[in-house]
Amino acid sequence: MDITLHYLFDPLCGWCYGASPAVSRLSAEPGITVELLPTGLLSGEGARAMDDGFAVFAWTNDQRIESQTGQRFTERYRQRVLGDREHPFDSSLATLALTAVSVSDPTSELETLKAIQHARYVDGKDVTSLTTLAELLKGLGLAQAAAMVALPDAHLLAANQVRVNKGQGLMREFGARGVPTLIAASGAKRWLVDASAASSNPSALISQLKDA
């Protein structure tokens, strides 16, 4: 049975970073197609300034994610990203960069998301910066996407909004309150998948999906 997994995420979500190995595992499984759908959760009205209180909250949460998933959150990230008081906590440009990849080279989108996450949480880079994102895309051999993000046209902005709207619509439809969220679809059947189970035991989840 062929299954599409709609992966609802935000590129600045720590729990989404924690889920990345499991999502990669699912995407490599025969019969399962993973569709990335950004939700805009941490952009627009969801963006905020980084202050001392939020930085402490984020780092405490990050340590929980690391202990549960094994994904690294480095001291460099803590100092350079959580310690940054000039740039907002805003995923708008990172989301747009991923849409540019989805338009120009869709098979590279998941790896690009992982590269953005690694740049932030391990290398301590500012992935809210256009310069950082453009360099990252070029380093991945995605020059077309880099050019699109540098000078976004109406087509790219519209495509980005369609993806965000679809992600938000699925969240409302299934009553999902946050990300990461996984929604499976096979034929006319659609159902909400336990994203925490995907991180803790992807093999068992794959078996459940194929038996559904």
User: Which 8-state DSSP code applies to residue 48?
Assistant: B
Triad 18, 141, 26: Cα angle to 5°: 35
DSSP calls for 54-89: HHHHHHHHHHHHHHHH-----HHHHHHTTT-SSS-B
User: Can you give the residue range of the structural domain that contains 28?
Assistant: 3-211
Q: How many CB atoms lie within 10 A of CB 151?
A: 7
> How far does Cα 208 stand from its chain's mean position?
24
CA-to-CA distance for 15 and 39, rounded, in angstroms? 14
Q: Which residue has the higher pLDDT, 92 or 200?
A: 92
**What share of the chain has pLDDT > 90, as a percent?**
90
* pLDDT recorded at residue 196: 85
pLDDT mean over 94-98: 98
Say how many domains are in the chain.
1
* pLDDT recorded at residue 197: 79
CATH assignment at residue 44: 3.40.30.10
pLDDT digits (tens, 9 = 90+) for 125-160: 999 999 999 999 999 999 999 999 999 999 999 999
Q: Which residue has the higher pLDDT, 7 or 202?
A: 7
Q: Is the pLDDT of residue 60 over 80?
A: yes
pLDDT bin (cut points 50, 70, 90) of residue 173 is: very high
pLDDT mean over 2-22: 97
CA-to-CA distance for 132 and 120, rounded, in angstroms? 10
pLDDT mean over 81-86: 97
Triad 150, 154, 158: Cα angle to 5°: 105
CA-to-CA distance for 38 and 160, rounded, in angstroms? 9
Q: Is the pLDDT of residue 212 over 80?
A: no
